[in-house]
Amino acid sequence: MAETAQHSEAPDLFAEYRLTPGVADELFDAHGQMRPVWRRFVDRFARLSPEDIAARFERGNQYLRDAGVFFRQYSNDPLTEREWPLSHIPVILHEDEWERICTGLSQRADLLEQVLADLYGPARLVSEGHLPAELVAGSRQWLRPMVGVPPRGGHYLHFLAFEIGRSPDGSWFVLGDRTQAPSGAGFALENRMATGRIFPERFPRAHIHRLAGFFGAFRTSMERLAHGQGRARASAILTPGPSNDTYYEHTYIARYLGIPLLEGEDLLVQNGQAMVRTIEGPQPLGVLWRRIDAAFADPLELDSGSQIGTPGIMEAIRQGNLAMVNALGSGVLEMRAMMAFLPRISEVMTGKPLAMPNIATWWCGGAQEQSYVRENAARMLVDSAYACDLPFDLGSQAAIGGAFRSQSRQNLSDWLAADGHRLVGQEAVTLSTTPAWVEDGEDGHGRVLPRPMTVRVFAARTPQGWIFMKGGYARIGRSGDTTALAMQRGGSVADVWVVSDRQVPQETLIPRETDVALRAAPGILPARSADNLYWLGRYVERTEDTIRMVRAYHLRLASTDKPNDPSLREIARFVARNGVDLRDPIPDALINNIESARSCASKVRDRFSTDGWSALGDLARTARAMRKTAKPGDDAARAMSVLVRKITGFSGLVHENMYRFSGWRFLSFGRALERADSLAAMLGAFANPKAPPGSLDIAVEVADSVITHQRRYRIETTRCTAVDLLALDGDNPRAILFQIERIRRLASELPHASDNGRLAELSRAIVPIEAALSVATPTEITSAKLDELRAGFSQISDLLTSAYLR
Amino acid sequence: MRYDIRLTIEYAYAAPSDHARNLLRLLPSDIAGTQRVTSRLLSTDPMPDERRDCLDFFGNATTSVAWHQPIDAVSLTLRATVERFTPRPMLDLSPPLAALAQEIGEVQSLRSDAPHHFLGASPRIATQDEITAFARERLKPGFSALEAVTQIGRALHREMRFDAEATTVDTTPAEAFAARHGVCQDFAQVMIAALRGIGIPAGYVSGFLRTFPPPGQPRLEGADAMHAWVCAWVGHDMGWVEFDPTNDQFAGLDYITVATGRDYSDVAPVRGVMRTAGAHETRQAVDVVPLDKG
């Protein structure tokens, strides 16, 4: 509509923002007037220079990159992580409008709870003919073991999301109910952090409702649900694991809420009670916020092929000892066909129509409905009745506007006639448009154009009723096409600002003093997390040792023209035992070590600082990039120096910043043990009397102890001085004794380190080694003694594993 | 006819199994008009640390057992005495096959015996074009639902060869049908897929079958195995009928039911995931000894 462009105050960036006839818009109302809630934002935004806009957007992107927010498609390849597709301009809604939306959705949430209670209880909706039995019985989400099992706490649904859109007439409607394991709440938080970097000014910030209060209330509700009669029980998030496309969000939410992130193998069920396998033995669990599909939760009673579930979880639920957020089986409400019956069900169950309608849906199992869909196919999406995806995520079989997506079918009428019972028609709705930044080129120039959008609204149950996140997460379509189909893959996401006319109270998740007692749930470290931290420590140390050894090789290669130099051959032979082939300047084994460390870190991201994670990622990227260019000799040596600095940067972050909780102890234990072992191995080779000349200097150099050696001994390196410095010096962090002392201290701080004054088995294996090294002389540290030490370290690793890590 | 039933299943693990948990469906139950259980005892060795007996959705007796300490072998033993009643003569009161869908639609219920549970795909059995086509070719115009069940069961019995070695517990109906061979599980699964393909609700029954030794030879102890057959819903008036495609007959005096479900996954005698990497070995022995003459 031309009049909007000519609006006297419409700034240039919005010059091409044209409304589509018959489509509602967020920025302009039906009369072409800018909605007041946008006014101040648009005025300020319009005054920004292209450079300023580019700089601000980049700040947002940088935040997301630094935080490690990415989007992952299901794939076996870990490198398919895409940059988070943030649409930088928020969607702005007035708090009054938001309030009306939430009132409508609150009624809907209550109705969904009633429907679910009926479907797993008396099933009157079916027996009274309001819902076809075949739809419920045919849904894979309707879980028979849940029939007749009342949920702990009395409710099936605790956390919901609704995908809503705005109709051309300006009213809102529901495209889909997310009742099983709604995702996106964590992403909403991250979007908010990013837009905070882009628009940091006091206005708009002081007027935007914050998200923290919602999460605080939800956490309190979960803890209330978890606590049994006088017995402290933990709450946790259950994730399918790092290969899931929203795993990042799971780790983020777990960190944000301060609750553990678990996988199915972290759990076991004993006497009807779900327990977490922790380093202190099994600990009781009261509530699980599950992010896995219900069918995978229990291989014993549900999908027997599940690798990510826990046998017996159904039994814990049946005995009323475990609450699930949301109950297993709640996914049946997401079935598309449900939308066809909900309007009528609302009348039947509550005596009222739906306060917010849903996308018009017809189940083609009914003769009348089927002919209606056939006759109106041109403005319909026809797809599986049982599918649980949102209307714009169509299956490959679907028909859009009467035409099929694939070639396999020809005739819609035939399909409806043959398979009508398994199909629904859904109205091809029109969505509203909202401002999105569309770049013209690389230089930051761009324009604001209207793009279709849907908003995801999150609700949580509290004792006072449903509360809603004041804000959310909008999906923005890629093109101007306003049919819901434009929302398919490849769009972007935006922050949703719910704005008040007044300044809003500032809430955070920092607990009030009165909350502390309730929040003091026992901090638990799952055995699997401890295991990953331990191995992270070992791999990082192993990587560093390898880098230093490779550097020593190339430094010597650069200063000799004899590739058969005995010390070169000695180094090559030594590292070959660990699979390192020095003919490659950046050996594959080195890259593999880094990837192993990254893989361990990726499984404990909820317990691990973002900076640490970025540092590891940086190390991996740098090493991989160097592989393309590095040449043997000086160049490779320099490359290794870069990697040494990067990996010590990571170690510094861990050492300086990581809280000294038990997880840190396992990480440190891993590093210390790996270093002790690698020093013993190195001395065994390079301090061997048969080793070629110059070998002792290699050992001292690789152990980063050249300067210390000069200071302390002021003589040439001898076997005696090298062994004294690298094995027996309690003040040298690169000495075996130093590391074994550390290991002994760490072990004494672990749970159950002693039993009635008697040391546990792990410590009993450590103490004699420490004592022997404390009193040994260099000549006593023979090659045989070094081998014996290494056997001892291996035994320590086994004892740690059997005591804490499984 | 009364039977004394004995069953032993033994598992041995290559590596001790930590926190083993199993779900057992081995206990026969009373079925009104069909069978009565006069005694039943299911024991496990070693003794489990947990045991609970309950009924699952389909009304099958389900025993949940768990061991808290690692175990490397388990032995399950069932002893039961069951009386099987003489079936009433079967009159075909089923509707024409074409009218069955109407009758199914009229059942507004999610009870475990409602036909709706048994019509769509279940975890192990999906309809399959070749099997459905095979079933369709056996139909004649005007067939009643019961005639369809009988003819398809009979045709499969003729078409498929019994082969105790050719398939495993995980063989799909499509694979078994393509090779035209298998054991009772394969016969039952193919028949279920065939019936569902033409709109007849069909389920899987596990249980025991009295076997007869070759003429002149004594009955060998432990030579029997658990058996599987098919149940099908053929309309309001007749409800569920049970057909055994492996032996081309309706389940009669020789059949003792243990569990009924949509497919094997609902009735598997032993379900359980052992938290161990090693392989395991199984041994099974079944005796079905008639206590009455006949």
- What would the pLDDT profile of A285-338 be if each residue is shown by its tens digit? 999 999 999 999 999 999 988 888 999 999 999 999 999 999 999 999 999 999
Res B223: pLDDT: 64
Domain annotation covers residue B90: no
Q: What is the DSSP string of A195-206?
A: HHHHS-SHHHHT
Domain annotation covers residue A583: yes
Q: In 3-state terms, chain B is what percent helix, strand and coil (to 5)?
A: 20, 40, 40
Domain annotation covers residue A486: no
Res A70: pLDDT: 67
Q: Which domain holds residue B232?
A: 97-266
**Same-domain check for residues B235 and B103:** yes
> Which of A123, A147, A299 lies nearest to residue B273, judging by beta carbons?
A299
Chain A CB within 8 Å of residue B105 CB:
yes
CB contacts of B68 in chain A (<8 Å) are 270
**Same-domain check for residues A664 and A802:** yes
> Which of A136, A144, A311 lies nearest to residue B272, judging by beta carbons?
A311
Q: How confident is the model at residue A441 (pLDDT cuts 50, 70, 90)?
A: low
* Under 8 Å between Cβ of A268 and B19: yes
Q: What is the DSSP string of A606-636?
A: GGS-HHHHHHHHHHHHHHHHHHHH--TTHHH
Res B169: pLDDT: 85
Percent of chain A surpassing pLDDT 70: 93
For residue A4, is pLDDT > 60? no
For residue A625, is pLDDT > 50? yes
**Same-domain check for residues A694 and A565:** no
A755-780 mean pLDDT: 93
**Same-domain check for residues B246 and B178:** yes
For residue B74, is pLDDT > 80? yes
Higher-confidence residue: B216 or A16? A16
Instruction: Give the DSSP letter of residue A396.
Output: T
Domain annotation covers residue A717: yes
**Same-domain check for residues B108 and B213:** yes
A641-646 mean pLDDT: 94
Threshold 0.90, pTM exceeds: no
Q: CA-to-CA distance for A94 and A743, rounded, in angstroms?
A: 58
Res B18: pLDDT: 75
Domain annotation covers residue B176: yes
Higher-confidence residue: B199 or A613? B199
Q: How confident is the model at residue B274 (pLDDT cuts 50, 70, 90)?
A: low
Cβ-Cβ contacts under 8 Å for B274 (sequence gap 6 or more) = B13, B17, B20, B280
Q: How far is B211 from chain A (nearest CA, A)?
A: 32
Q: CA-to-CA distance for A243 and A75, rounded, in angstroms?
A: 7
Domain annotation covers residue A495: no
Cβ-Cβ contacts under 8 Å for A324 (sequence gap 6 or more) = A151, A287, A288, A290, A297, A317
Q: How confident is the model at residue B118 (pLDDT cuts 50, 70, 90)?
A: very high
A142, A270, A805, best to mutate vs chain B, most B CBs in 10 Å? A270
Q: What is the DSSP string of B222-236?
A: TBB--EEEEEEE--T
Domain annotation covers residue B91: no
Chain A CB within 8 Å of residue B37 CB:
no
Res A71: pLDDT: 63
* Under 8 Å between Cβ of A111 and A350: yes
Question: Cβ separation of A138 and B119 shorter than 8 Å?
Answer: yes
Cβ-Cβ contacts under 8 Å for A715 (sequence gap 6 or more) = A721
- What would the pLDDT profile of B175-231 be if each residue is shown by its tens digit? 999 999 999 999 999 999 999 999 999 999 999 998 877 777 776 666 678 999 999
**Same-domain check for residues A800 and A690:** yes
Res B252: pLDDT: 92
- E strands within A10-100? 70-72, 81-83, 91-94
Res A635: pLDDT: 93
**Same-domain check for residues A764 and A687:** yes
Q: CA-to-CA distance for A401 and A513, rounded, in angstroms?
A: 58
ipTM for the predicted complex: 0.94
Percent of chain A surpassing pLDDT 90: 64
A243, amino acid identity: S
Question: Cβ separation of B23 and A300 shorter than 8 Å?
Answer: yes
Res A3: pLDDT: 40
Question: Count of domains in chain A?
Answer: 3
Res A565: pLDDT: 87
Q: How confident is the model at residue A496 (pLDDT cuts 50, 70, 90)?
A: very high
**Same-domain check for residues A628 and A680:** no
Average pLDDT of chain A is 89
Q: CA-to-CA distance for B151 and B97, rounded, in angstroms?
A: 13
- What would the pLDDT profile of A516-556 be if each residue is shown by its tens digit? 444 444 478 899 999 999 999 999 999 999 999 999 999 99
Res B278: pLDDT: 53
Res A5: pLDDT: 41
Select from A202, A212, A267 the least CA-distant residue to A237: A267
Q: How far is B57 from chain A (nearest CA, A)?
A: 6
Chain B CB within 8 Å of residue A444 CB:
no
**Same-domain check for residues A574 and A598:** yes
**Same-domain check for residues A642 and A672:** no
**Same-domain check for residues A696 and A591:** no
**Same-domain check for residues B228 and B118:** yes
- What would the pLDDT profile of A714-724 be if each residue is shown by its tens digit? 788 899 999 99
- What would the pLDDT profile of A43-98 be if each residue is shown by its tens digit? 889 888 888 999 999 999 988 887 777 665 444 444 456 677 889 999 999 999 99
Question: Cβ separation of B104 and A134 shorter than 8 Å?
Answer: yes
Question: Cβ separation of A144 and B64 shorter than 8 Å?
Answer: no
- The DSSP bridge pattern shows strands B181-182 and B161-162 to be parallel
Domain annotation covers residue A585: yes
| CB–CB contacts below 8 A, A to B | 74
A733-738 mean pLDDT: 96
For residue A512, is pLDDT > 80? no
Res A229: pLDDT: 57
Lowest mean pLDDT among A395-409, A459-473, A581-595, A674-688: A395-409
A119, A300, A802, best to mutate vs chain B, most B CBs in 10 Å? A300
- The DSSP bridge pattern shows strands B161-162 and A472-476 to be unpaired
**Same-domain check for residues B153 and B170:** yes
The SS3 of residue B252 is: coil
CA A62 to chain centre: 18
For residue A2, is pLDDT > 50? no
Res A396: pLDDT: 75
**Same-domain check for residues A574 and A694:** no
- What would the pLDDT profile of A353-381 be if each residue is shown by its tens digit? 999 999 999 999 999 999 999 999 999 99
For residue A634, is pLDDT > 70? yes
How many CA atoms does the CB half-sphere of A736 hold within 13 Å? 32
**Same-domain check for residues A723 and A773:** yes
A118, A315, A335, best to mutate vs chain B, most B CBs in 10 Å? A315
Question: Count of domains in chain B?
Answer: 2
* Under 8 Å between Cβ of A236 and A261: yes
CB contacts of A268 in chain B (<8 Å) are 19
**Same-domain check for residues B51 and B144:** no
A106-127 mean pLDDT: 98
Q: How far is B197 from chain A (nearest CA, A)?
A: 12
CATH number for position B216: 3.10.620.30
A112-118 mean pLDDT: 98
**Same-domain check for residues B185 and B58:** no
Res A780: pLDDT: 95
CATH number for position B33: 2.60.40.2250
Last residue of a domain, one of A378, A394, A427: A427
**Same-domain check for residues B64 and B105:** no
**Same-domain check for residues B128 and B56:** no
- What would the pLDDT profile of A122-162 be if each residue is shown by its tens digit? 999 999 999 999 999 999 999 999 999 999 999 999 999 99
Res A75: pLDDT: 40
Chain A CB within 8 Å of residue B123 CB:
yes
Domain annotation covers residue B121: yes
Chain B residue with minimum CA distance to A122? B110
**Same-domain check for residues B106 and B205:** yes
Res A663: pLDDT: 87
A215-220 mean pLDDT: 92
Q: Which domain holds residue A577?
A: 526-658
CB contacts of A145 in chain B (<8 Å) are 56-57
B273, B275, B276, best to mutate vs chain A, most A CBs in 10 Å? B273
- What would the pLDDT profile of A165-185 be if each residue is shown by its tens digit? 999 999 999 999 999 999 889
**Same-domain check for residues B67 and B101:** no
For residue B280, is pLDDT > 70? no
Domain annotation covers residue A154: no
Cβ-Cβ contacts under 8 Å for A423 (sequence gap 6 or more) = A363, A364, A365, A373, A382, A383, A384, A385, A415, A416
Count Cβ atoms below 10 Å from residue A693 Cβ, excluding itself.
8
Last residue of a domain, one of A599, A626, A658: A658
Domain annotation covers residue B250: yes
* Under 8 Å between Cβ of A175 and A166: no
**Same-domain check for residues A391 and A414:** yes
Res A515: pLDDT: 46
B17, B18, B21, B270, best to mutate vs chain A, most A CBs in 10 Å? B21
Q: How far is A435 from chain B (nearest CA, A)?
A: 45
Last residue of a domain, one of A613, A636, A658: A658
Q: How confident is the model at residue A444 (pLDDT cuts 50, 70, 90)?
A: low
Domain annotation covers residue B192: yes
Q: How far is A145 from chain B (nearest CA, A)?
A: 6
**Same-domain check for residues A605 and A708:** no
> Which of A128, A147, A304 lies nearest to residue B57, judging by beta carbons?
A147
Two structure tokens written together for A484:
């819901």
> Any long-range contacts for B163-166 (C-beta under 8 Å, 24+ apart)?
none
Domain annotation covers residue B80: yes
